[in-house]
Amino acid sequence: MATIRVGLLGYGGLGQAAARMLAAKKQMILVAAVDSKGYAYHLEGLDAAHLSLAISRHGSIGYEPVVGVVADDPIQALLANQWPVDGYFLALPNLPNTFIASVARTFIASGWRGVLVDAVKRTSAVEQLLALGPDLERAGITYVTGCGATPGLLTAAAALAAQSFSEVLSVQVTFGVGIGNWEAYRSTVREDIAHLEGYSVESAQAMSDAQVSALLERTDGLLKLENMEHADDILLELAGICGRERVSVGGVVDTRNPRKPLSTNVRVTGRTFEGKTSTHTFTLGDETSMAANVCGPALGYLKAGIELHRRGHHGIWSSAELMPRFVS
């Protein structure tokens, strides 16, 4: 396979981690990156360390000398150049809840053809993307949705585990995330807060950093999330594994400690053809970070999407329908 030229939309905690991960890959090269104020492009490859420096010194990768451009609408501005990029990882916060679908529409309108993968989490966000399926197909775009840790890695694991059963009775995703400093993941933490009782996507998005810090002060840095609106349900339902009411997602985020508060796992309970009820459990290693478990699968699904795209398959797929391909 020819080297895959990758773009990253979003250069916060997850985008920067994906860039670091790409630096160690041979099959992929980072050629484009976008943040809220600008973009950078270089066909021979961008330097992740230089981009991070441009952010810490000037607030945007658009200020990176030679390769950076500051722009009001950086995604539009980058696409207008029509420079070659095979696929993009949308490492963007989905705030508001319509944002990722609006980005997909920007790609459709631009005439660009290639692969898009996202790490969206909410069921309603995936519904908006599924509605774009025919437009993505006509535009020659191969879109894979729900490609992070959950939905993503754990959804694929659930789909694999289901194979032992005649009927899947429940899928329970429980995550434990530890981050040393919440400010490295400002948007992700706001997305998590939006799931708490008394908050919405709009109110969490509108919170100042001081308000987020005050909330975390009250909870000892912990965010406990239960029965989340989570796209693992719709993705497993569409893949024919089980009804969405049988899927539940929750977990704990510790914003003051990089150690996971519990081991992330997915438990798939089903009935075998012999009438026995049993549970398969897939547990992530405690030493793996959220960044590794989101960005690794996203790149793996990007590679799987590239293979589909090169065979002429366009439209929308999900992490429950495809296996990610390991990127060396």
- Footprint on this chain of ligand IKT (rule: CB under 6 A): 121, 149-150, 175-177, 188, 191-192, 253, 260, 264, 284, 288, 290, 293
Report the alpha-carbon angle 193-199-203, nearest 5: 90
Rounded-to-integer distance, Cα 128 and Cα 145, Å: 11
Q: Which of 26, 37, 137, 191 is catalytic?
A: 191
Give how far the C-alpha of residue 36 lies from the chain's centroid of Cα atoms, to the nearest Å: 17
Q: Which of 121, 230, 309, 314 is catalytic?
A: 121
CA separation, residue 105 to residues 130, 151, 223, 260 (Å): 12, 22, 33, 36
Residue with smaller CB distance to ligand IKT, 7 or 152 = 152
- Specify whether the CB–CB gap between 122 and 231 falls below 8 A: yes
- Residue 279: Cβ within 10 Å count: 13
Give which of 88, 99, 149, 162 is closest to 128, Cα–Cα. Answer: 99
CB of 205 to ligand IKT, least distance (A): 14
Is 303 an annotated catalytic residue? no
Residue with smaller CB distance to ligand IKT, 253 or 306 = 253
Q: Which of 195, 230, 260, 314 is catalytic?
A: 195
Rounded-to-integer distance, Cα 147 and Cα 128, Å: 16
CB of 183 to ligand IKT, least distance (A): 15
Residue with smaller CB distance to ligand IKT, 54 or 201 = 201
Rounded-to-integer distance, Cα 3 and Cα 280, Å: 37
Residues contacting 308, CB < 8 A, separation 6+ = 115, 142, 317, 322
Q: Concatenated DSSP letters for 10-55?
A: --SHHHHHHHHHHHT-SSEEEEEEE-SSEEEE-TT---HHHHHHHH
Residue with smaller CB distance to ligand IKT, 61 or 290 = 290
Q: What is the CA radius of gyration of the chain?
A: 19
- Specify whether the CB–CB gap between 324 and 141 falls below 8 A: no
CB of 192 to ligand IKT, least distance (A): 5
Q: Binding site for NAD(+), residues?
A: 10-14, 187-188
What are the backbone dihedrals phi and psi of residue 287, each rounded to the nearest 5 degrees, phi first? -80, -10
CA separation, residue 96 to residues 10, 102, 109, 231, 294 (Å): 15, 10, 21, 16, 20
Is 197 an annotated catalytic residue? no
Peptide bond into 151 cis (omega under 30): yes
Residue with smaller CB distance to ligand IKT, 64 or 191 = 191
CB of 195 to ligand IKT, least distance (A): 7
Is 121 an annotated catalytic residue? yes
Residue with smaller CB distance to ligand IKT, 134 or 258 = 258
User: Nearest-CB residue to ligand IKT?
Assistant: 264
CB of 162 to ligand IKT, least distance (A): 20
CB of 115 to ligand IKT, least distance (A): 23
Catalytic annotation, residues: 121, 191, 195
